[in-house]
Amino acid sequence: MRAVVYDTLGKNNKAISDLTSALEIDPKHSDTYFLRGLLYIKQEEWGKALLDFTSIIDLDPNSVRAYLNRADVYEALDQEDKALQDYEKVSY
């Protein structure tokens, strides 16, 4: 995937653009949301990252990695109560 190469080269905006284009073609591809969400975290674009991880959860309510990353975003936003709720959803 070209977006991964862009990320490796430090061209996050190009990577995000590629992933966004991919989601326009296939809006149900959770791995694409995941990669873009991670890039948004790198750029501290918390609101956008939150939307991507929530989109994954909407597609797959059992996605542990989406809950964990969304919890991290909630922590970055000082929303510890919401982070705790997500952590509790994946604790066994």
Note the pLDDT of residue 92.
66
Structural domains of the chain ordered from first start: 2-90 (1.25.40.10)
pTM of the full structure: 0.94
Alpha carbons 73 and 78: distance in angstroms, whole number: 9
90, two tokens? 């994946």
Q: Tell me: the pLDDT tens digits for 31-88?
A: 999 999 999 999 999 999 999 999 999 999 999 999 999 999 999 999 999 999 999 9
The angle, 0 to 180 degrees and rounded to 10, between the axes of the packed helices 30-42 and 46-59 is 160
* Overall average pLDDT of the 14-38 stretch: 97
Q: Which of 38, 92, 39, 30 lies closest to 70 in space, CA to CA? A: 38
Note the pLDDT of residue 91.
84
For residues 58 and 42, the answer to whether their CB atoms sit within 8 Å is: no
55, two tokens? 């989109």
